[in-house]
Amino acid sequence: MNPPTSLTSTHHADLRRKVVTVIWSLRIVACVYTAWVFWLIVRPLRRTPDFLERLGNYWQRDMSAAQDWQIWSVVALDLALWSLLPVAIACWWLASQHLLRDMSLNTTSSTWLRRGAWLGLTCTVLSILTRPFISYLYTLHLSANAQLWLWNINPNDLLGLLICGVLLMLSYLMAWMAEIAEENKAFV
């Protein structure tokens, strides 16, 4: 049988250091990802003719007559969806802040984690649902039979849904474990 370790033992100090490292790594990756997605959204505004030429080659359509309002509409729609992402990241940041503060599972961390997971799920689902509308907006200047209404789901969409689903499950588990811990305190 292993002897019980105190909270100040080197074992717990090593675990705490690992948890802090993972949390800060995830925070940095989340911020980089948010900036990267923003950059990809506004990219069509920088070199619009080049972007439209590549898009036209991909869709096998003449996109040279696309109007500025079409590009701006797509960018505005994407930015509206993107605005959920920083809010989700802020919720996850607050959840990890509460976790780092006392290194215990509590309902406050669970609540912020759950809010972030729901926002992430909402952002991903809305992104998937609006994708056909984006191809339609880009091709709106074409004749009716040449306009596109493309629906595509990428592997990264499924990965986003999976990650947010796991975070949601973890938030519910954290709340449940916090309740069990409170019940056990009453017995001790």
User: Model confidence over 15-39: pLDDT tens digits?
Assistant: 888 888 999 999 999 999 999 999 9
Is this model's pTM higher than 0.95 or not? no
pLDDT digits (tens, 9 = 90+) for 122-158: 999 999 999 999 999 999 888 888 888 988 888 989 9
Closest residue by Cα to residue 163 from 104, 107, 85, 103:
85
Domain ranges for the chain: 10-187
CB contact set of 181 (below 8 Å; sequence gap of 6+)? 104, 105
Please check the confidence at residue 182 and state whether its pLDDT lies above 80.
Answer: no
Round to the nearest angstrom and report the end-to-end CA distance of the chain: 22
